[in-house]
Amino acid sequence: MVLDMALEHDIYLFHQGNLRYSYKLMGAHLSEENGLQGVRFTVWAPNAVQISVVGLFNEWDGRCHPMRKVNDNGIWSTFIPGLDRGCLYKYEVLTKHGHIMLKSDPYAFSSELRPNTASVVDPLQYYDWKDDDWMLRRENRNMYESPMSIYELHLGSWKYIETEVFYTYREYADMVIPYVKEMGYTHIELLPLTEHPFDRSWGYQATGYYSVTSRYGSPDDLRYFVDQCHQNGIGVILDWVPGHFCKDQHGLRRFDGEPLYEYANPAKAEKTQWGTLTFDFGRNEVQSFLISNAIYWLKEYHIDGLRVDAVASMLYLDFGKEDSNDWEPNEYGGRENLEAVAFIKKMNEAIFEEVPDVLMMAEESTAWPLVSAPTYLGGLGFNYKWNMGWMNDMLKYMEMDPVHRKYHHNLITFSLFYAFSENFVLPISHDEVVHGKKSLLNKMPGDYWQKFANLRAFLAYMYAHPGKKLLFMGSEFGQFDEWKDLEDLDWELLEYDSHASTQQYMKQLHHLYHDHPALWELDHDEKGFEWIDANNYEQSIISFIRSSRYAHDQLVVVCNFTPNVYHDYKIGVPQAGVYEEVFSSDATDFGGSGQTNGLDLTTCDAPWQSQQQHITMTIPPLAVSFLKRVSATTVREGNV
C-alpha cells in the first residue's frame, strides 16, 4: 500500500497519541479506489500474525480478503471493491500463538442487534442537520451563568413496547422531547448508548465505543433524536465510559491475542468489582482511540456534553481493591494512576480546543482537588463535577425520622463550606434509586402524606442550593418502586392525585427556577449565596439568600425539615420593603397542607439574624418557602 504524505502524518499522530480524529483513519469507510467503489478497512493490531476481513460477502472465509500491514507499528489495511453501506463484517485475527479469533471493529460506527456481534459498514455524512440556531446559541451561551436542569434518562426503561423490545430513537424523540419540554428541563442526559452486549449493564460495559447501540435503531436515528432535542431548545448530554470495558470475546479484550487496549499488568488492568478491564492510559494509540471517541460523539452527533463515568476508578490504582496485594503503587509510592491523570488532562485540553462550548462533567466521588479547574491552573480540566458529597449527606439526612434530624444538622449545611471549590452539579442519579436503595420518594420517612412532603422539600432545597441540577427519570412524579431496568416507569401512578400533584410541582418548581436568575446566575460564585440562619438545629430550620448579579434580585429561602408548623416566625431579610411568598412546596395544589403566606410580608426595622431588618411569617411543615421583595415601602417599627 502506497501512503501519501497526509496519511503518513495521520498514522504518525495516531502512534504519538495525538490523532484527534482517528476514526476517520481507522475502521471501515466507503471509498473509491482505482475507479472502483468499495470499502477501505483499517485496524491496529501490532501483535497479530495475520488479519483478514470476513463477512457474508465472502462466507466468513478468512482466506478471501487478507489485510496488508501498513507499517511496523501494527496498522493493517485493505480495500474491498463492491461492498456498500450495511455490509456485515468482522476481523479474523491470527495470533502469534496460532489461535484464530473473530473480532468486532473497535472503530465500527454501527453494529448488529444483540445477541449478534458483527460490525456494520455505515458512513458518517448522510444526515442533514437542522439545528444551526441551537449550535449558534450554544456557542455564544455562558453555561456557568445559565439555568441547567438535567433529566437523566435510560431510554429502554422510560417506556417500552414489551420486555427487551424497545421503541426507536425517532419514536422516543416524539414521546420524550414534548414531555421533557413541558416539564421544564433544559437538558437530557442519556445513559451510555455505545454498543454493549448485556442489557442490564445499562451501557456501562461497552464493546463498540464508536457504535451506536442498535437496540433503538440506526446512527441516523440517534442523530434525529439529538436534532429534534436541539430544535426544541433541549441540550443532550451522553454518559461516556473511558475508564473500563467489558471482557466479551468479540470486543477489545486481547484484541490481537495480547493485551492491547488494556494494561498488560493484571494489577492495573483488572477492575475486579465490575469484572472489567482498565484501558492502558499510557499507551499512545489508546489515547488516540479514546480522545477521538469523545470528539466523535461531540462532533458527529452534536452532543452538547459528556458525563464521564467513574473518574475515581481512573485516578486511583487501588480503586475497589481492598487487599493491598491486588494493586501496585506508582513510581513515587502513591496510589494515584499518574498515566490516567496525564491522559485526563490531555483529553480535556484536546476536547476544549476542538469543541470549546461543550460540557465535560466528571462523576468523581473523592476529594481530588481542582477537578473542574483548567489544566493550566493545575486542574484536571473538566468544567463540571458531580457533587457526590452533597448527594450522600442529603439523602442520609432525608432518610432520617425528622425527630432525629436535629442531631445531624451539619448534613444539610456542610456542603456550603465547599460549594464554590468546584463547578458542581447536584446529582440524584440512577445509582441512588436501584439495587435495593429504594426510590427517591420511598427513601422519605413518615406516613403517606409526609413522604410526599419530604420529597417536595428535598427537591426545593436542591433547586435552591448552589449548583446545577440532575434528577433521574421517575423521581419527578414520585415513583414508589425503585428503578426497574427491565420494565418501564410506573406511568399509571399519574392516575393518583399525590403523584399527579408531584409532577405538577416539578413543572412549577422549574418555572420558579427559570424565572429567577438568583437561583442559577451565580451558582459558582460565593456572592450568590448568604446564610441568614444556618444554626437552628433544634427546629431543623435553615434560611439563606440567593442572589443574581443585580443586588435587588434576591430570593430568601426558608426550609423546615420537621412536620411542625411555626406561626409568627422571625426571619432576617437583606432589604427593607414588602416581601411576597412566590413559591411554597406546601401549597395545596401540590398536595401540601396549605400553610402558606398569602398576605404581603412587610419588614420591621429591627436587626435579626445578621440582617438589618426582619419579617414574621408562617413556617409550613416539611416545606420550603421562597420569598422575594416586591416593593420598597416604609418599614414598620419593631423590636428585636
Kindly state the cell numbers that stand for 441: 420518594
444 with 438: CB under 8 angstroms?
no
Contacts by 441-448, CB closer than 8 A, 24 or more apart = 441/475, 441/478, 441/479, 441/480, 441/502, 442/480, 442/481, 442/482, 443/395, 443/398, 443/399, 444/398, 444/399, 445/398, 445/399, 445/400, 445/401, 445/402, 446/401, 446/402, 446/563, 446/622, 448/498
- Report CA-CA distances (Å) from 169 to 159, 179, 190, 547, 589: 12, 15, 12, 40, 35
Q: Which residue has the cell 445477541?
A: 115
Report the C-alpha gap between 255 and 261 in whole angstroms.
8
Please state whether beta strands 88-94 and 50-54 pair in parallel, antiparallel, or not at all (unpaired): antiparallel
Task: Please report, as a single letter, which amino acid is at residue 401.
Answer: D
Which of 363, 364, 521, 581 is catalytic? The answer is 363
* One-letter amino acid of 395: L
- Our answer to whether residue 182 is catalytic in this structure is no
Helix (H) / strand (E) containing 152:
strand 149-153
Angstrom distance (rounded) from CA 87 to CA 111: 10
CA distance 388 to 370: 15
Q: Which of 309, 432, 523, 581 is labelled catalytic?
A: 309
The C-alpha cell 446559541 sits at 137
Cell of 300: 458527529
Strand bridging mode 119-120 / 110-111:
antiparallel
- What's the per-residue H, E or C state across 517-577? HHHCCCCCCHHHEEEEEEEECCCCEEEEEEECCCCCCEEEEEEECCCCCEEEEEEEECCCC
Among this protein's residues, is 363 annotated catalytic? yes
How many whole angstroms separate alpha carbon 598 and alpha carbon 51? 76
Sign of CA dihedral 596, 598, 603, 604: negative
Residue type, position 149, single letter: S
The C-alpha cell that represents 486 in the structure block: 427491565
Q: Which DSSP category does 481 fall into?
A: S
CA 603 to chain centre: 43
Hey, what amino acid is at 88?
A: L
C-alpha cell at 73: 507499528
Catalytic residue positions? 309, 363
